[in-house]
Structure 1
Amino acid sequence: MVSGTAFSVVAGLFGALASSSAKLAVGADYVTHGCKVFVELWLANPHLIAQAAVCSWLPVLLRLGCGGMVITFNAVMWTFFAKALRYSASSARATVTSAASNYISSAILGKALFGESHALLWWVGISLILCGLLLLHTATSRADLGDTERKEK
């Protein structure tokens, strides 16, 4: 059976995919540049009038497609997050795990898709979040401690 942690990690990944899709849908530079690269790769002569025709309607289709992906990825993210809440020992554990997964996935997607880089302070912050997540996952709950104390008596 899959644990709540796995559902939380997948929810964070889909949240990052949704925000990356939103950035692609709204950011004009990425779509226009992608159209020009597409035309240069697939057309034999990129200086033809066809480039202007393709690049006038293709960005609109790409933006609509990315908008659809935002909705889809968000729906899938909420589905996995609801399952994570159901199968986790606590809602805090599911929430923090999902957030950490989202931050890490966003950093990877930002670097891969947009060439972004993060400052040292960002990496220090994510390291602190991961340390807190480690503590959260390795700490025993109060209910477990209460059961242990009752058994000792």
Structure 2
Amino acid sequence: MTQFNPNTDVLARIDAGEFNNVSPPTVLSLLGEWSKDQPGISDPRFFREAVAQLWVLNQREKNSEPVFAVEGLPCVLPLPPGTVRSFLVTGLESAITERYGSERAETEIRNFYLLMLDAGHGMALTLSPFGVEVMTDICTFILRGAVLDDSTEVFHA
């Protein structure tokens, strides 16, 4: 397991991809440990990473590997954490920033991510049904676009 040093900027390291090859449960544990010493977390990177890691876990459980598939399409969308973070930044955060302006963007993005998260059994963090719906919509849009114009890297089944 990666050594945890609370004096480093964990969110910057995660966002930069330093933990992309670390298992989602380990990254979620790292976020949990880091958050214990952070009163009132508002940084969207924290919520973005939680959503990304939970989505990767969700799809790994559903498809036996971290890929997104749509029935009837001849390919799947690989879901490495960095790619999922990019989907969230470009497909969600940029739209929220455009709608609310840069002054309100951070708060609105955080609030949207909070709607996507839920405390599951034993208070474990999970994606809410809304979170699953949002991620499904984003990935379906990307995968369908890739099938139609081949602009996104996908693996053909």
User: TM-score surpassing 0.5?
Assistant: no
Give TM-score scaled by structure 2 length: 0.31
Bigger helix fraction: 1
Bigger strand fraction: 2
Larger radius of gyration: 1
